[in-house]
Copies of this chain bind each other. A is one copy, B any other.
Amino acid sequence: FLFCSSSQQIQFADQKQEFNKRPSKIGRRSLSRSISQSSTDSYSSAASYTDSSDDETSPREKQQKNSKGNGDFCIKNIKQADFGRREIEIAEQEMPALMALRKRAQGEKPLAGAKIVGCTHITAQTAVLMETLSALGAQCRWAACNIYSTQNEVAAALAEGGEAHVFAWKGESEDDFWWCIDRCVNVEGWQPNMILDDGGDLTHWIYKKYPSMFKKIKGIVEESVTGVHRLYQLSKAGKLCVPAMNVNDSVTKQKFDNLYCCRESILDGLKRTTDVMFGGKQVVVCGYGEVGKGCCAALKAMGSIVYVTEIDPICALQACMDGFRLVKLNEVIRQVDIVITCTGNKNVVVRENLDRMKNGCIVCNMGHSNTEIDVASLRTPELTWERVRSQVDHVIWPDGKRIVLLAEGRLLNLSCSTVPTFVLSITATTQALALIELYNAPEGRYKQDVYLLPKKMDEYVASLHLPTFDAHLTELTDEQAKYLGLNKNGPFKPNYYR
C-alpha cells in the first residue's frame, strides 16, 4: 500500500502524542450534550445508573450478551438499555431531519450494502444517526472518539437494539481507546467500505494498521477541525487514498455551530459557572468572527457594554457598524468585568493582561482550543489557585486580587454549557447525506481529495430542518427561475456564498 510510508507513521505518532497533551483537540464542532458536567449531573432519576457503581470490572473482561443473545459489542452495562432508549427517543423528537430521512428512504435503502465504521462521541444524538444509517441499509460498527464522552446507557440501548455494534464506555483508558477502535475494524468476515470519523483517530488507525483496507473503502466523512486538517495535510502530501468529505465547513454547520449556537452558549456558560448578572457589565470580546459576533450580540442584548478587539480590518469595520467600540485589549483591560476570547489564535490574553485586570474579572475562552489564554503563565508560585466550583478557579494575586478563570481556559461552551440537540441534528444530517453521496457517487465524481459538501446538499440539510419552525419556503415560478438563471430546486447560490 503505497501512500503509507514510514515517515507518515511517524507523523501520525506525533499527532497522537499531541492529542494526549491537548484535551480540546476535538474542536468546537463535535461535542455533545453528555459532556457537560452540569447537564449530566442534573439527571436526578439516573441515580441507579451512575458510573460510580461498585462494579469496577473492566468491560473488556466481561462476558456480554444482549437479550437476543448477541454479544458482538463491548459496553459498560447492558442493563441500562431501557434508560438509554428513553434518551434516544427524546433525542429523536428533536432531530426531525434524520427521522424524515428514515421515512423518505424507507423504500430505496440508499446505504444498502454499506459497511460503515464510525468513531464519534457516543451519545443519544449519535445513536439517532447510527440507527438512521441502519434504517437506510447500512451495517455499522462504532467506537468512541473521546474517552470520557460516552453515555453508557445509550451504548447499552444500541447494543440491546442490535443495529449497531458498539465498543465504548465512559472512562476508557488510552489502551482501551485503541482496543475499541481495533475491535470495530478488525473483524473476521467483515470489512468496512465507509468511514465516519470525528478527529481522525479511526482514519489514522486504519492507515497505520490496515492500509490495504482502503482498497475497498469508498470514502471518509470527517467532522472535526482537527480531522479535516489532517486530511488536507494527507491530500497535500499526495497520500490520501480515497475521497474525503469535509462536513465541518458546510455553511449550515458553520453558522449553527458558531454564530447561532454561541449566541446562546456564551450566556449559558457564564451563568452556570458564575451566576454573573449581565446588565451593565463591561465585557471585551477578542475576535469578531462568527463566534465573536454571536457572543457580542447576546451580551449586548442582555445590557452589557461590549468592546471588541480585531486584527482584520474588515471584521473590525463590521464591529463598528454593529455598535461595538473597537479597541486594543490594553485600552480596556483595567475596566472590564469579563474577558472572552474567540480568535482561533494563541496567547491573545497573556500574563501581562491578567496582571492588569481588576479584582473579580472573569476570563474565559470561546475560541477553538485552549491556547488563547496563556494559562500556563498563571502557574507561578506567587499566585494561589482556588477551585471554587467545578470549572471555576479563583487565581489570587499576592495583594488579594482574584481573577475568575473558567474551564482552565478550555472551551467554555463545551465545558460549561450544552450544545442543543437541534445543532447536533444539523451536523448528523450532514454526515448522513455525505455518506450517502460518497457511497452512491458514480465512478469518477470524486477523486482522492478532500471535498466540501455540494451546495445543493447543504441546502437540502437546511430544508429538512425548516419544518421544525413551521417555516414555509417559497418556490420559484418557471418564469422566475429562468429570469434568475437558476434551477427551480436549487442550488440557489454560488458555492462560495456564505
Q: A420: which of B277, B320, B359, B418 is its contact (CB, 8 Å)?
A: B277
- Residues A317 and B465 in contact, CB atoms below 8 Å apart: yes
**Which of A68-76, A142-150, A267-275, A438-446 forms part of the interface with chain B?**
A267-275
- Residues B325 and A305 in contact, CB atoms below 8 Å apart: yes
How long is the Cα–Cα vector from A51 to B489 in the complex, in angstroms?
52
How long is the Cα–Cα vector from A469 to B283 in the complex, in angstroms?
12
How long is the Cα–Cα vector from A326 to B329 in the complex, in angstroms?
21
How long is the Cα–Cα vector from A214 to B119 in the complex, in angstroms?
60
- Residues A279 and B320 in contact, CB atoms below 8 Å apart: yes
- Residues A42 and B41 in contact, CB atoms below 8 Å apart: yes
How long is the Cα–Cα vector from A317 to B348 in the complex, in angstroms?
33
Interface residue count for A (Cβ, 8 Å)?
Answer: 108
Chain B residues contacting A215 (CB-CB under 8 Å) are none
> What distance in Å separates the Cβ of A232 from its nearest Cβ neighbour in chain B?
12
How long is the Cα–Cα vector from A44 to B301 in the complex, in angstroms?
32
Tell me if A21 counts as interface (CB < 8 A to partner B): no
How long is the Cα–Cα vector from A319 to B463 in the complex, in angstroms?
13
Q: A468: which of B280, B318, B460 is its contact (CB, 8 Å)?
A: B280
Chain B residues contacting A301 (CB-CB under 8 Å) are 297-298, 301-302
Chain B residues contacting A267 (CB-CB under 8 Å) are 264, 267-268, 271
- Residues B466 and A317 in contact, CB atoms below 8 Å apart: yes
Chain B residues contacting A317 (CB-CB under 8 Å) are 252, 462, 465-466, 469, 471
Residue of A44, A360, A390 with most chain B CB atoms under a 10 A cut-off: A44
- Residues A310 and B277 in contact, CB atoms below 8 Å apart: no
Tell me if A112 counts as interface (CB < 8 A to partner B): no
Tell me if A493 counts as interface (CB < 8 A to partner B): yes
- Residues A479 and B347 in contact, CB atoms below 8 Å apart: yes
- Residues B311 and A264 in contact, CB atoms below 8 Å apart: no
Tell me if A483 counts as interface (CB < 8 A to partner B): yes
How long is the Cα–Cα vector from A313 to B251 in the complex, in angstroms?
11
Chain B residues contacting A187 (CB-CB under 8 Å) are none
- Residues A320 and B459 in contact, CB atoms below 8 Å apart: no
Residue of A325, A328, A484, A496 with most chain B CB atoms under a 10 A cut-off: A325
User: Which residue of B is nearest A323, CB measured?
Assistant: B303
18 new A-B contacts at CB < 8 Å, known A275-B420, A311-B492, A328-B473: A37-B42, A43-B390, A93-B402, A94-B360, A268-B271, A279-B323, A280-B469, A305-B323, A313-B460, A313-B462, A314-B492, A316-B462, A320-B469, A325-B471, A326-B471, A326-B473, A346-B480, A347-B479
24 A-B pairs, CB-CB below 8 angstroms? A39-B275, A43-B389, A43-B390, A93-B402, A94-B360, A252-B314, A255-B318, A264-B267, A271-B418, A272-B272, A277-B422, A277-B423, A280-B468, A305-B323, A310-B474, A311-B474, A311-B492, A317-B469, A320-B469, A320-B471, A326-B466, A326-B473, A328-B473, A345-B483
